[in-house]
Amino acid sequence: MQLRAFALVTALAAAASPSLAEPTRVAVRAQALDAKFIGDHTGGVGVTIRDARSGKVLSQGLIRGGTGDTARIMKTPPARYGRVSDDQTAGFVAMVDIAEPTLVRIEAEGPLGRPASATTVSSTLWLLPGHNIDGDGIVLMFPGLVVEPTVILDGPDRFRITAKVSPMCGCPIEANGIWDAANYSVRATLLRHNRAVAETALAFTGRTGEYAGVLPKADADGDTLRVVAFDSRTPNTGVAMATIPTGR
């Protein structure tokens, strides 16, 4: 009788005690839409994993590494369950300690080396204790374009705009390339008090990712320039602002 009572007490105590947290591995990657993975080339991507309900931070880190194998990503249709990344592809491997199935939000911000073009992408999913997510892992897709304009005076009555444009991974836009320069439209608009006063298309210069054009010289302090780029074949767009040199 005493033995049965002891066994019952032991079982109840075990049931009442909290479960031990179990380290669970989660691979996270960031991929530019219609392009390669985002990594060191554009400054990496910051990752935060939170308990979706409490907001508690479970893991933080930085996606580092290369952009991946171009042929594998862009030219070879992946087989079902096939891996697109390789061991050098940019990623962050988090170790999350959880004791029970946990709904988490994975949030990624980047590319950190292009802060004016950085965006945030997130996804919510269940993690199970001890059920590791390896291989390609959780791939967060980043739509958008990096747009980096510069403006210089080009004679007494006009200025020249040059814009460097790329997918979020920094992949090269080139004539007849995988990211074909002909598919991208880039326009510059001169704004005065938030109203458009002049506009021009920027043409591909032949240099990787470079588009250029001219606009009349600004005649008022505080004028700004807005450069908009988009890919006609995908949802990728990008916007950047620049100050205007007046020469005064």
pLDDT at 28: 99
pLDDT at 3: 44
pTM of the model: 0.88
pLDDT at 30: 99
Q: CA nearest 208: which of 168, 239, 171, 234?
A: 171
d(CA 42, CA 140) in angstroms, rounded, equals 16
pLDDT at 13: 42
Q: What percent of the chain has pLDDT over 90?
A: 79
Contact 111, 171 (CB under 8 A): no
Q: Where in 88-194 does DSSP place strands (E)?
A: 92-98, 102-110, 119-127, 133-142, 145-153, 158-167, 173-174, 179-180, 184-192
d(CA 203, CA 16) in angstroms, rounded, equals 70
Taking 70 as the threshold, does the pLDDT of residue 247 lie above it? no
Q: Provide the pairing of β-strand 195-204 with 173-174.
A: unpaired
Taking 80 as the threshold, does the pLDDT of residue 246 lie above it? no
At a CB cut-off of 8 Å and minimum separation 6, what does 160 contact? Answer: 151, 152, 153, 154, 212, 213, 214
Domains along the sequence of the chain with CATH = 19-142 (2.60.40), 145-243 (2.60.40.10)
Lowest mean pLDDT among 13-27, 213-227, 228-242: 13-27
Q: What is the mean pLDDT of residues 63-80?
A: 93
d(CA 142, CA 32) in angstroms, rounded, equals 5
Taking 50 as the threshold, does the pLDDT of residue 16 lie above it? no
pLDDT at 14: 43
Give the single-character DSSP code of 91.
Answer: B
pLDDT at 157: 85
Q: What percent of the chain has pLDDT over 70?
A: 90
Taking 70 as the threshold, does the pLDDT of residue 178 lie above it? yes
Give the single-character DSSP code of 42.
Answer: G
Taking 60 as the threshold, does the pLDDT of residue 18 lie above it? no
